[in-house]
């Protein structure tokens, strides 16, 4: 049985994430301790109690990675399996790298915490955001962005008829009526202040590369790049691809289409977002691991 491992990105966070794992697994509790020590923050409070930090990108990113990492490790602990690739959506590519053995947990937590801070810094003098567009072909959205002369770009190719664009918030608002006039079924501005996967994050590319050079191991299992929709497995390749992932669109649907024949089904660790998107891309099933009950179901497949 061939598995495809999936890891969700930012936006999948919620209060209570990982709590069932924490309460029922010694391994999960150990991983919480490692993460908390890595960046000197109490992840139990961050993830289990109402707070504002959970939606701040420098904390959201390590929280999601920790949740996904625990889900994966508990699966690995209880199931003998092999896989040809792991694939993450945006931030999820870093969770995929952890699963592939590219980093230790503490280093992965530190890395995405710093990545979040670098992304915030890039927007200290401007307000960015992202916007979901439903019901239009990719080429139409691309043309609208290009012809607008505004600071807006395609950012996430999620599925046919679902694309996310990123840019300056006011420019995105100006584009709403244009996209609806072109036939978009829905245009929804997201509650974000950072525009991911567009040229506005160029200032974060070099410092992220320096961090990656410090934390990455030389070789690891196959991870599918958001930038190329192709697998890589060396530090050299990662140092070329992961920094520019900040400024390039996420080729998620292209990645699934490229690798669906190498998996009998997919498992999403720490979320259900990609499971929903996958229904529009592939006939292969996606099973989520979000708590002990869903873990048990997937183990027994």
| Least confident segment among 4-13, 27-36, 84-93 | 4-13
For 91-115, the pLDDT digits (tens) are 999 999 999 999 999 999 999 999 9
Two domains, one topology: 3-123+199-299 and 128-189 = no
- pLDDT given for residue 1 in this prediction: 80
**Known catalytic residues?**
90, 197
Kindly report the average pLDDT of the chain as a whole number.
96
- How do the domains of the chain map onto residue ranges? 3-123+199-299, 128-189
Q: How many helices (H) and strands (E) does the chain have?
A: 13, 10
| Least confident segment among 78-87, 133-142, 210-219 | 78-87
Residue 257 has φ and ψ, to the nearest 5°, of -65, -35
Closest listed residue to residue 259, CA positions, set 91, 96, 24, 47: 96
- Joined together, the tokens standing for residue 43 give 């992840």
Quickly count: other Cβ atoms within 10 Å of residue 154's Cβ: 22
C-alpha gyration radius of the chain: 18
- pLDDT given for residue 192 in this prediction: 82
Local confidence band at 13 (pLDDT 50, 70, 90 cut-offs): confident
| DSSP annotation string for 194-250 | S--SSGGGGGGHHHHHHHHHHH--SEEEEEE-TTTSSEEEEHHHHHHHHHHTTTS-B
Residues 6 or more apart in contact with residue 67 via CB below 8 angstroms: 17, 18, 21, 47, 270, 271
The CB-side HSE value for 60 (13 A sphere, CA atoms) comes to 20
Residues 158/252, Cβ–Cβ less than 8 Å: yes
Q: Which residue has the tokens 């699934």?
A: 256
Residues 21/100, Cβ–Cβ less than 8 Å: no
- Joined together, the tokens standing for residue 93 give 């590519």
Local confidence band at 193 (pLDDT 50, 70, 90 cut-offs): confident
3.40.50.1100, 3.40.50.150, 3.30.70.260, 3.30.70.250: CATH of 128-189: 3.30.70.250
Local confidence band at 38 (pLDDT 50, 70, 90 cut-offs): very high
For 148-183, the pLDDT digits (tens) are 999 999 999 999 999 999 999 999 999 999 999 999
Residues 110/215, Cβ–Cβ less than 8 Å: yes
Q: Are strands 152-159 and 162-168 parallel, antiparallel or unpaired?
A: antiparallel
Residue 191 has pLDDT above 90, yes or no: no
Counting residues of the chain whose pLDDT is more than 90, the rounded percentage is: 91
- pLDDT given for residue 301 in this prediction: 87
- pLDDT given for residue 247 in this prediction: 98
175-178's contacts with Cβ under 8 Å and 24+ in sequence apart are: 175/131, 175/144, 175/145, 175/148, 175/150, 176/131, 178/144, 178/148
**DSSP code at position 285:** -
| DSSP annotation string for 167-182 | EEHHHHHHHHHHHHHT
The architecture in CATH of the region 3-123+199-299 reads 3-Layer(aba) Sandwich (3.40)
């Amino acid at each position: 049985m061939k598995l495809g491992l999936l890891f969700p990105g930012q936006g999948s966070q919620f209060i209570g994430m990982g709590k069932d794992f924490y309460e029922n697994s010694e391994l999960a509790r150990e991983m919480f301790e490692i993460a908390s020590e890595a960046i000197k923050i109490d992840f139990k409070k961050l993830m289990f109690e109402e707070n504002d930090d959970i939606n701040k990108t420098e904390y959201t990113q390590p929280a999601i990675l920790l949740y996904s990492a625990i889900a994966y490790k508990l699966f690995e602990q209880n199931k003998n399996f092999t896989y040809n690739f792991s694939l993450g959506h945006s931030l999820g590519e870093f969770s995929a790298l952890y699963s592939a053995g590219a980093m230790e947990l503490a280093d992965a937590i530190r890395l995405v915490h710093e990545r979040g801070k670098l992304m915030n810094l890039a927007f200290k003098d401007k307000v960015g955001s992202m916007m979901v567009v439903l019901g239009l072909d990719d080429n139409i959205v691309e043309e609208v962005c290009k012809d607008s002369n505004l600071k807006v770009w395609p950012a996430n190719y999620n599925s046919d008829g679902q694309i996310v664009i990123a840019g300056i918030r006011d420019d995105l608002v100006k584009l709403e009526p244009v996209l609806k006039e072109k036939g978009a079924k829905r245009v929804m501005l997201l509650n974000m202040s950072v525009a991911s996967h567009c040229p506005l994050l160029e200032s974060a590319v070099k410092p992220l590369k320096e961090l990656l050079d410090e934390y990455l191991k030389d070789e690891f299992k196959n991870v599918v790049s958001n930038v190329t929709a192709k697998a890589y497995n060396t530090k050299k390749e990662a140092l070329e691809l992961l920094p520019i992932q900040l400024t390039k669109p996420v080729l998620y649907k292209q990645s699934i289409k490229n690798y669906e024949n190498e998996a009998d089904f997919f498992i999403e660790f720490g979320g259900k977002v990609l499971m929903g998107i996958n229904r529009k891309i592939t006939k292969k099933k996606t099973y989520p691991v979000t708590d002990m009950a869903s873990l048990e179901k997937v183990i027994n497949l």
